[in-house]
């Protein structure tokens, strides 16, 4: 039976690396798949890993219809054994519903990879729908660490070095930000996310002589 699987973790946990590895492993066994992404930091229609790996993919716009895409491809004689869907937290809930339908009705495996919560600690709608529908939800075992050395559980967004908790949900990381606003991301433990204590702020207030080189 085909399955809908959701692999999740914080930033830097290796989700895109695992997505590319999953695609490689299945292709190496003669299976034929399609690679999808949305709002990747490297640009449209690209799956990129922080390790430097990249692959061309289908960009999932808000109006992209997975069911129609799949049916059209199969009608034209294409073979599809699996989908690998990166940055799935950015998909619309109805797109997750369509992926579940692809699994159930067409027996195509779907492997989704994405972050569970945004910088405000709220569930992404796409990720929430995946948790509701997936046959399995797996947490990546690669442990990311807060600057303090504890396990990181939350994603933080900073602007000009200051952690923020309001604003646009989707601001792609690793982008060339305008000179007047430097936007970056950092992973933190719950305690330091709750306090708004980033590595830069910890250095500034001298809580530690030098934050550990983690994160």
Q: Return the bridge partners of 138, or none.
A: 7
Query: Residue 169: helix, strand or coil by DSSP?
Result: coil
Q: Are strands 58-59 and 136-139 parallel, antiparallel or unpaired?
A: unpaired
Q: Is-catalytic flag, 87?
A: yes
Q: Which of 87, 159, 168, 180 is catalytic?
A: 87
Would you state the torsion angle of the CA atoms of residues 36, 39, 45, 48, taken in this order, to the nearest 10 degrees? -80
Separation CA 49–CA 40 (nearest Å): 10
Instruction: Kindly give, in sequence order, each residue whose CB lies less than 8 Å from that of residue 159, ignoring residues fewer than 6 positions away.
Output: 181, 182, 183
Task: Give catalytic residues, as residue numbers.
Answer: 87
């Amino acid at each position: 039976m085909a399955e809908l699987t959701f692999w999740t973790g914080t930033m830097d946990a290796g989700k895109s690396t695992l997505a590319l590895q999953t695609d490689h492993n299945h292709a190496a066994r003669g299976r034929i798949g399609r690679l999808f992404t949305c709002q990747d930091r490297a640009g449209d229609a690209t799956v990129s890993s922080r390790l430097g790996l990249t692959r061309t993919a289908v960009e999932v716009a808000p109006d992209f219809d997975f069911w129609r895409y799949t049916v059209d491809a199969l009608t034209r004689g294409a073979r599809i054994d699996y989908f690998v869907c990166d940055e799935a937290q950015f998909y619309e809930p109805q797109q997750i519903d369509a992926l579940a339908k692809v699994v159930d009705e067409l027996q195509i495996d779907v492997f989704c990879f994405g972050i569970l919560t945004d910088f405000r600690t709220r569930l992404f709608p796409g990720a929430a729908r995946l948790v509701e529908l997936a046959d399995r939800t797996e947490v990546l075992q690669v442990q990311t660490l807060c600057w303090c050395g504890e396990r990181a559980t939350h994603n933080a967004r900073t602007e000009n070095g200051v952690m923020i908790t309001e604003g646009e949900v989707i601001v792609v990381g690793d982008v060339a930000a305008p000179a007047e606003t430097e936007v970056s991301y950092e992973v933190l433990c719950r305690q330091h996310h709750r306090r708004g204590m980033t590595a830069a702020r910890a250095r500034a207030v001298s809580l530690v002589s030098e934050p550990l080189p983690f994160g």
